[in-house]
Amino acid sequence: MPATDTDFDLRSSSQSAFGIGECAFADAGNLEHCAKYLNQTLVTFGFPASLDLFAGDPVSIARTCNCIYSLLQQRQRDVDFRESANEQRQRLLSDISRLEAKVERLESQLQAKDREIATMTRTEAKATAAFKAQIEKLQQERDEFQRMVIGNQQVRTQQIHEMKKKEKEYIKLQERLNQVLMEKKKESRSGMEIMNLLQKEGRQRGTWNGKKTDNDFYKKIVDAYEAKNQELMAENTDLRALLRSMQVCINYSTVFVYLCSECIFICLVLLCSTIEY
């Protein structure tokens, strides 16, 4: 509401009154102006207006009392509201302080978690790189083992071929040995037959002369027989030694091939299980 001349007069008189006495709003010289100002202000704030402060009738006095009572109630409400607002403000300040402390604590935890995440990220990167390197190494070892398996299979095939060849030679040597033994038996029988014939002829020629000649003849026959016998025994010994060496070689080759195959199989199983893990 725009101020009027009367309002300015009231303000000036009130200021002078406040300057003269404590809490002085009206005096004997400005009662009408003060009453008018109060009515306007009451209307502005929604209180009952048109108060006749100079009237002495009960109705005017009752209206004035009701207005004062409304002001007192408003004052009480204002006091209660201020107390409630102050309490709420204190609670809010306490909540704000608590929330600020919580925010600070959470920020500290967040920073710690960020550092942990950074550390874990670096560790994970290192572990991933090491794992990839190990995988590549295992793959290389697997490829190398596969090449070794192929090479060992080829060697095994070749050794099997050699073993079959040795077995054939072994069979031939056995046949040769049997043949030599048969020939030796035949020669032994032939020698015995010759000796029997010589003894028989010796009995028949009882009138022969030249005992020395007969002894030389017998000696030559015996020497030839013993030389042939020694030759056959040496050949027999050589054949037996060759057979034993071939058997040992075949046994060692078989055991070696078996062990190599088992070792390669175990290594491949371990390698495949490691790669799958």
Q: Could you list the pLDDT tens digit for every one of the 277 residues in the chain?
A: 334 444 434 344 444 434 444 557 888 888 888 888 888 888 888 776 667 777 778 887 888 788 888 888 889 999 999 999 999 999 999 999 999 999 999 999 999 999 999 999 999 999 999 999 999 999 998 888 888 888 888 888 888 888 888 788 878 877 877 787 787 677 666 666 665 655 555 555 454 444 556 566 667 777 777 777 777 777 777 777 777 776 676 666 666 656 666 666 665 555 555 555 5
Q: Is residue 103 part of a domain?
A: no
Indicate the residue among 44, 71, 98 that finishes a domain. 98
Do 265 and 140 share a structural domain? yes
Sequence-distant (6+) residues with CB within 8 A of 250 are 163, 166, 167, 170
d(CA 184, CA 277): 69
The count of C-alpha atoms lying within 13 angstroms of the C-alpha of 39, restricted to the half-sphere facing its C-beta, is 14
Which CATH number does the domain housing residue 264 bear? 1.10.287
Q: Is the dihedral of CA 198, 199, 205, 210 positive or negative?
A: positive
d(CA 249, CA 169): 13
Do 59 and 13 share a structural domain? yes
Q: Is residue 62 part of a domain?
A: yes
Q: Is residue 162 part of a domain?
A: yes
Do 161 and 80 share a structural domain? no
Do 167 and 69 share a structural domain? no
Do 73 and 145 share a structural domain? no
Asked if 51 and 64 count as a contact pair (C-beta separation under 8 A), the reply is yes
Q: Is residue 231 part of a domain?
A: yes
Q: Is the dihedral of CA 96, 97, 98, 99 positive or negative?
A: positive
Q: Is residue 262 part of a domain?
A: yes
Do 145 and 25 share a structural domain? no
Do 142 and 259 share a structural domain? yes
Do 165 and 68 share a structural domain? no
Do 249 and 148 share a structural domain? yes
Indicate the residue among 74, 98, 122 that finishes a domain. 98
Do 144 and 68 share a structural domain? no
pLDDT of 51 reads 73
Q: Is residue 181 part of a domain?
A: yes
Sequence-distant (6+) residues with CB within 8 A of 61 are 55
Q: Is residue 117 part of a domain?
A: no
d(CA 136, CA 134): 5
Q: Is residue 163 part of a domain?
A: yes
pLDDT of 12 reads 41
d(CA 119, CA 48): 75
- Alpha-carbon distances of 4 from 10, 11, 29, 46, 50, rounded to whole Å: 10, 11, 19, 20, 18
Residue 151 belongs to domain spanning:
134-202+214-276
Do 92 and 170 share a structural domain? no
pLDDT of 76 reads 93
d(CA 70, CA 54): 20
Domain count, the chain: 2
pLDDT of 2 reads 39
Indicate the residue among 98, 122, 144 that finishes a domain. 98
d(CA 79, CA 59): 30
Do 272 and 193 share a structural domain? yes
